[in-house]
Structure 1
Amino acid sequence: MFIIEGYNMITEFVEKIAQFNNFENVENQYSNNFKYNIITRNNLIQYMKIMLKMKPATILIGEAPGYNGCRWSGVPFTAEKNILIEYRKGQLFGITNGFKIRDIAKPQSEASATIVWEHLRKIDSYPLMWNAFPFHPHKKNNTESNRKPSNEELHTGKLILSEILKMYNINNIIALGNTAQETLAKIGITCNKIRHPANGGKNEFISGLNTELGILPSNAST
């Protein structure tokens, strides 16, 4: 009964966040105004349902979706190329599991997403992943860009994040990078941080995540 009720909550949650269209220079990738919203909504719902069954104890939070990753996949820290790969012994992602992308022959990749998912697969440990602001903020007249979310946007993000934390009953929060930690601090969330994998941060990201997840060195060689 709990899982069924949880699934209903997830569908309602995604439908609710799809209604946010009141920000300038922001793409809500789940909104009806976004061309590929059927794909992004589907993927987020499927991901959240799978994670609900997994009962993660930790949530990894970034700043906001980038234009090459979650913007197209609908899943935080995830690019289309990751969607095509089956993780957790074939239970997470994969077209056969109901996930979708725009063009199977031309999946979009994203460097940080590749590093994150390669390591999660190696250690077979999967924290829930989210962003302080769950929509794609971009520079004026350029959706192929990223920018920091405004304080007003972060306020909305906080309300949404609070629902996520309640839904999954997670208390262990980890910020992905300095910017994410600073962003979370603005909305009153104090947490540990690990290095963002971008710009040469792969090894520090791996080491930091292993420490936070309690992964022993013998199980986490790089």
Structure 2
Amino acid sequence: MTPRSFVAALADVQLHDVFNPYRDHCELHDLANAPATRRKNLRDYLAAVESLGTDTIWMGRDLGYRGGRRTGLALTDEARLPMFAAYYPGFAPSKATKGPSVAERTAAEIWAVLARLERPPLLWNVFPFHPHDADDPMTNRRFAARELSEVTDLNRTLITWLGIRRIVCIGQDATAYAATFGVEVQCVRHPSYGGVTEFRQGMQRIYGEEMKPVEASPQAALF
């Protein structure tokens, strides 16, 4: 498996009421070449992760309409795009949408912790697309079991290909699913809906002394 073949396989997936950022174009927000831009972003990101020898995934549930739907990168909003080069050498993603960059609170919390680590994880989701309510694309909903079945083989391929040894689940939705891949699984509270403090404490518990002090992080102001 290569970044190009993996992203091409993702781009082939087409589901009803699911926005696939690697094949679909949002008429409201996207630039004309947005799907191609997001495909390149993900290819380059996976190549950088592979070069780093990253063996840990932080796994969320699915892409949100303010974050990964726009960027094509899990747990990442447009406000975080300029930070990638500092933590994933050789990777500088491009913005795929029109207008000002959009920020997302979950992405801010994720990146505030990531910025305190010497070796960053692969950011990924159980369901790597954006499921939305029927006829309302700017909403978030939980994926259905039949939708998840379309990507399980791809997730398994990703984990095997990159030699992933640990999955840190961001929220309970990912926990049972991650356990099926035969790697170490740990779970922290999702930072949304009042879970910020428990999320930070959970990451501190997992990483302990591996985490740099807050003042050493470029995102210290978020803590």
TM-score, normalization by structure 1: 0.83
Work out the CA distance in 1 between the residues paired with 2:23 and 2:148. Answer: 18
1:50 to 1:146, Cα distance in 2 relative to 1, 3 A: same
* Corresponding residue of 1:76: 74
For residue 184 of structure 1, report the CA deviation from its aligned partner. 4.3
- Structure 1: gaps spanning 5 or more residues: 1-5
- Contact 2:171-2:187 within 8 A present in 1 as well: yes
Query: Is 1:27 aligned with 2:19?
Result: yes
- Contact 2:18-2:132 within 8 A present in 1 as well: yes
1:168 corresponds to which of 155, 159, 162? 162
Q: 3-state DSSP class of the match of 1:59? A: strand
What amino acid does structure 2 have at the position aligned with 1:62?
G
Cα deviations by residue, 1:60-93 (Å, 9 ceiling, x for unpaired) = 1111111111111111100111112345367365
* Corresponding residue of 1:16: 9
Q: 3-state DSSP class of the match of 1:219? A: coil
Identity within the alignment, %? 25
For residue 103 of structure 1, report the CA deviation from its aligned partner. 5.2
Q: 3-state DSSP class of the match of 2:123? A: strand
Q: 3-state DSSP class of the match of 2:167? A: strand
CA RMSD of aligned residues (A): 2.5
What amino acid does structure 1 have at the position aligned with 2:103?
S
Aligned length: 208
- Contact 2:48-2:88 within 8 A present in 1 as well: no
- Contact 2:132-2:139 within 8 A present in 1 as well: yes
Work out the CA distance in 2 between the residues paired with 1:208 and 1:136. Answer: 26
Cα deviations by residue, 1:16-40 (Å, 9 ceiling, x for unpaired) = 110111x211111101555520121
What amino acid does structure 1 have at the position aligned with 2:23?
S
* Corresponding residue of 2:100: 106
Q: 3-state DSSP class of the match of 1:123? A: coil
* Corresponding residue of 2:127: 133
Q: 3-state DSSP class of the match of 2:83? A: coil
Work out the CA distance in 1 between the residues paired with 2:174 and 2:88. Answer: 30
1:122-201 matched pairs, under 5 angstroms: 122-184=116-178, 191-201=185-195
- Contact 1:210-1:220 within 8 A present in 2 as well: no
Work out the CA distance in 1 between the residues paired with 2:152 and 2:211. Answer: 37
Work out the CA distance in 1 between the residues paired with 2:87 and 2:125. Answer: 26
Q: 3-state DSSP class of the match of 1:144? A: coil
TM-score, normalization by structure 2: 0.83
- Structure 2: gaps spanning 5 or more residues: 215-222
2:209 corresponds to which of 208, 216, 219? 216
1:36-55 matched pairs, under 5 angstroms: 36-55=34-53
Query: Is 1:65 aligned with 2:32?
Result: no
1:184 to 1:86, Cα distance in 2 relative to 1, 3 A: closer
- Contact 1:133-1:156 within 8 A present in 2 as well: no
Q: 3-state DSSP class of the match of 1:191? A: strand
Work out the CA distance in 2 between the residues paired with 1:141 and 1:173. Answer: 34
What amino acid does structure 1 have at the position aligned with 2:64?
G
Work out the CA distance in 1 between the residues paired with 2:194 and 2:133. Answer: 25
* Corresponding residue of 2:219: none
1:168 to 1:38, Cα distance in 2 relative to 1, 3 A: same
